[in-house]
Amino acid sequence: MAIAGGITSLPNLRRNLTYIWFLLGIENWTRYLVWYPGRTTIEQLGLGGYAMLGAAMWWVLSWVIFFMIDLTATWRRRFALPLAGAVVLFCTAVSIVIRGWLLVTIGPYPGYPLAKELVLLLRGDFYLTLMWVVAVAAMGRGLQWWHVEKTTAVRQARLETEQARAELSAVAAQLEPHFLFNTLSAISTLAARDAAAAREMLAGLEDLMMYTTRSGDAVTLAEELRFASLYLRLQAVRFAERLEVAIDIEPRSLDCVVPQLILQPVLENAIRHGIEQLENGGCIAIDGRLERGRLLLFIRNTDPGSEGRSSAGHGIGLACVQARLGLLFGEHHSFAIDRDVNASSVTVRMSMPELRKAS
């Protein structure tokens, strides 16, 4: 019985062993035909049978050795090593006996006394056979190390994936109530002076919440833009003509994968620390393009610094954006906030790998 998770449970191991020893059996047969020329057809078939039965014997011995390696995988070395040595010597002895019997039955020396043949094999082939057995054991040990390393790597990757998803869920759990509180606060403020506009914002809030509560770590840029545009339309109801929006996204970048909810927190920050501080309002621009295998996103808003106010507020929203970028892309992303005094603007710059969802 195969040990669960051991070498003998590797997929296609039996098939691969069959291929290896079958090819070696064919090689031995052709070598015997060269060594023993002039044989009749029946004798040649006998040599072939000898070669193929020898290959079958080595298949079985290989499986025995691999099973022994699986069996002793968790044993202490002082117990495993003596057993390994005993199995190697046993397999060597079995190989000598079987080969001797095959040689005097269907091999090139029919009728030769078995005892004499075994003596000859012990003198001439013992060390060669021992070398083959040790080579098979070494191959099995190498397979075991590879299998353990591969299994450990897969398990570690699964743990890291589960940890990343847990962290992403924690980030989303922080962001969703934060977004909802700010939106409801804006609706409450607007209701005091424009009830119709407040009702319009409440109607759009349902679609927003459906997007924020959906499960998924990543979406296409097109999906994220649809949500961001809806959010900006709600804010346009609130600010009327004080908010100007410009969106310029390169079409071929729309199906790139981005973390969910990376635009809305930046837009919210731009409104809260930018547009709200300006008596005459301002502009928010979203630009996106592909460049050298990377997706570049720019969210720019009018800077109220020229009116004596500061736009440097960075709340939980931007921290969540950076966390999501880091969890999904690791070191392969960048996030920066630039302030251009001459242009009276603040720009959030994001860069991430150009990835697309599998079709």
pLDDT (0 to 100) of residue 216 = 58
Mean pLDDT in the chain? 78
The model carries a pTM of: 0.49
340 three-class SS: strand
Share of the chain above pLDDT 90, in %: 12
Q: Where are the beta strands (DSSP E) in the chain?
A: 218-220, 243-249, 257-259, 282-291, 294-302, 334-340, 345-353
Helix H or strand E segment including 270: helix 264-273
Architecture of domain 163-353: 2-Layer Sandwich (3.30)
pLDDT (0 to 100) of residue 163 = 58
Residue 51 neighbours by CB under 8 Å, 6+ apart:
25, 26, 28, 29, 32
- Cβ neighbourhood burial of 65 (10 Å; 0-12, 13-18, 19+): buried
pLDDT tens figures, 71-102: 877 777 777 788 888 888 888 888 888 888 88
pLDDT tens figures, 48-69: 888 888 889 889 989 888 888 8
Query: Residue 292: what are its φ and ψ, rounded to 5°?
Result: 55, 50
- Cβ neighbourhood burial of 171 (10 Å; 0-12, 13-18, 19+): buried
Least confident of 27-31, 136-140, 212-216, 340-344: 212-216
Top pLDDT among 52 and 32 is at: 52
pLDDT tens figures, 256-268: 988 888 898 898 8
**Domains of the chain: which residue ranges?**
7-124, 163-353
pLDDT of 348 strictly over 80: yes
pLDDT (0 to 100) of residue 284 = 93
How many other C-beta atoms can be found within 10 angstroms of the C-beta atom of residue 158? 10
pLDDT (0 to 100) of residue 273 = 84
pLDDT tens figures, 186-207: 777 777 777 777 777 777 777 6
Top pLDDT among 163 and 187 is at: 187
88 three-class SS: helix
Residue carrying structure tokens 């998803």: 165
Reported as a pLDDT band with limits 50, 70 and 90, residue 169 is: low
Instruction: Please report, for residues 218, 242, 277, 340, 346, the alpha-carbon distance to residue 300 in angstroms, rounded to integers and kept in the order given.
Output: 23, 16, 15, 10, 6
Report which residue type is found at 1. Answer: M
- Cβ neighbourhood burial of 124 (10 Å; 0-12, 13-18, 19+): exposed
pLDDT (0 to 100) of residue 156 = 59
